[in-house]
Amino acid sequence: MLRRTAIAFAALSAASWAFASGPSTTEPAQAAALAWLNLVDAADSRSSWEQASVNFKSAVTSAQWSQALNGVRGPLGALRQREQKTAQSTKSLPGAPDGQYVVLQYQSSFQSKANATETVTVVLDPDGSWRVVGYFIK
């Protein structure tokens, strides 16, 4: 089950980056991603699940997310540094409904992993808020 969850997040995070946009159009999405990452960095799986997109919450329960997050982030230790590398807009992602997405990649350093790439995918939810729909670390 944990592997299936990780694969689902990876599929949502792997974007076709056909629709690049400038920073001004991705700023709200970037802010939402960073706020959500702060919850993840604090190991607050419950709040990060609650603040995720409708599609995220329909794909994984809070308990499943907590288990997946602890399994992936726990061994890495504390965040040391995170620098955004890219922010790309797209209207389609493999395995996801069409919508307004922004795929953000960060170069990150953790206590037990000096070089990691975090990919966070945010979507414009029906209520007009940007929320995380995918998270992947490699």
Q: Say how many CA atoms lie within 13 Å of 39 toward its Cβ.
A: 20
Contact 84, 106 (CB under 8 A): yes
Tell me: the pLDDT tens digits for 2-43?
Answer: 444 443 444 344 433 333 444 457 899 999 999 999 999 999
The CATH number given to 2-137 is 3.10.450.590
Q: What is the pTM of this model?
A: 0.81
Tell me: the pLDDT tens digits for 34-91?
Answer: 999 999 999 999 999 999 999 999 999 999 999 999 999 999 999 999 999 999 999 9
Nearest to 135 by CA among 125, 121, 123: 121
Q: Is the pLDDT of residue 101 over 60?
A: yes
Residues 6+ apart with CB under 8 A from 5: 59, 60, 64, 65, 68
Angstrom CA distances, 60 to 18, 57, 89, 98, 104, stand at 28, 5, 24, 20, 21
